[in-house]
């Protein structure tokens, strides 16, 4: 993790691995949508919330006409980057996660045809979210004799 953090700092992107690589099997089991698959979502898939996972990159905060803050947050997974719009209540509740380079699990309601940033619904710390969803853990140990 230290090596890839240094790669991000030096190059601006992950070179040898992505922090989400360690979660690949679990994320697949939870039907987490990858950044590369956003363009191919069907209208039916866009009609209900989707899950995405990513590491927080950039965050640009704005103030709306009514004085409410919102932000555009850029995240990345092992296939690319994507941007989400975070509205004031979610931004306030998730500020600590969004101000770090944390790995997060997002529940999003995609906008029609994915022409714009997906609208935000929930942000969770990835480790905490996955540990809450793991129900059965089986460990298989194969003894070796010499």
Instruction: Tell me the per-residue pLDDT of 73-112, one tens digit each, with 9 for 90 and over.
Output: 888 888 888 888 888 888 899 989 888 878 899 998 776 5
Tokens of 28: 């697949």
Of 5 and 113, the one with more pLDDT: 5
Average pLDDT over residues 29-51: 86
Nearest of 87, 89, 121 to residue 106 by alpha carbon:
121
Three-state secondary structure call for residue 29: helix
Q: What is the pLDDT of residues 1-39, one digit of tens each?
A: 565 555 555 555 555 667 787 788 788 888 899 988 988
Q: Is the pLDDT reported for residue 114 higher than 50?
A: no
Query: CA-CA distance, 90 to 132, in Å (whole number)?
Result: 20
Query: CA-CA distance, 23 to 44, in Å (whole number)?
Result: 27
Predicted confidence at residue 2, as pLDDT, reads 63
pTM: 0.72
């Amino acid at each position: 993790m230290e090596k890839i953090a240094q790669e991000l700092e030096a190059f601006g992107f992950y070179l040898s691995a992505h922090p989400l690589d360690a979660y690949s099997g679990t994320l697949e089991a939870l039907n987490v949508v990858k950044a590369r698959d956003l363009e191919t979502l069907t209208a039916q898939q866009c009609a209900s919330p989707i899950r995405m996972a990513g590491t927080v990159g950039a965050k640009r905060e704005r103030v709306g006409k009514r004085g409410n803050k919102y932000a555009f947050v850029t995240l990345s997974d092992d296939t690319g980057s994507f941007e989400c719009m975070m509205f004031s209540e979610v931004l306030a509740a998730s500020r600590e996660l969004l101000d770090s380079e944390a790995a997060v699990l997002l529940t999003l309601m995609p906008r029609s045809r994915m022409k714009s940033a997906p609208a935000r619904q929930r942000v969770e710390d990835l480790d905490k979210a996955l540990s809450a969803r793991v129900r059965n853990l089986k460990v298989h140990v194969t003894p070796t004799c010499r």
